[in-house]
Every structure is written in C-alpha cells, then in structure tokens.
Amino acid sequence: MELEHKISHKYDSVSTHIPFSISKKSKGEVDIFAKKGDKVDIFEVKCSHRITKAKKQLKRARKHIGGKGNSYFYCGSSGLLILI
C-alpha cells in the first residue's frame, strides 16, 4: 500500500487489513493499524473521496479497538490524508 510506505517510519509497527469483531461476529476491518508506544492510529483507505462512509467505519472501529490515538481517512485518488 502506498500509504503504508509513507507512514511506516513514524510508528513502531504498522499492520494492514486487521479485522475486529464482537464475540464471533465480524464487525469490520481496519485498513491500516499503526502503533507507537501506547498510541494507536487507525486509517481508512478509499479510492475515491467517500469521507462519510469512512467516518462511520472509523467510528465503529475506534469503539471496538479503544485506546489513545487518532483516526484518519486517506483518499487514494487525490492522495489526501485527513484527520477525522
């Protein structure tokens, strides 16, 4: 992933396509999960500028993942990275 390469030097670890669930029912997937110390940043990647859908997905993911950190939307077509 393009974004993964851009941000990897800023974090201790970067993982992609991390599923999250409650019990055994899948709730979604975090496109990029980046950790530095006790802070966890999550990234939702879309090909087009569909920020509304990304916001919903990030809100749901943050609720299940918890912890300190930021949530970001990355638009692949424009290369914009937006803090949500």
Q: Whole domain around residue 71: which residue ranges?
A: 2-83
The DSSP bridge pattern shows strands 13-22 and 80-83 to be: unpaired
pTM of the model: 0.84
The pLDDT tens digits along the chain (84 residues) read: 688 888 999 999 999 988 877 667 667 788 899 999 999 999 999 888 778 888 888 888 888 877 789 999 998 888 889 999
Q: How many domains does the chain have?
A: 1
| Of 6, 15, 5, 20, the residue nearest 41 (C-alpha) | 15
Q: What is d(CA 9, CA 3) in angstroms, rounded to the nearest whole number?
A: 11
Check which CATH number belongs to the domain holding 47 and give it. Answer: 3.90.320.10
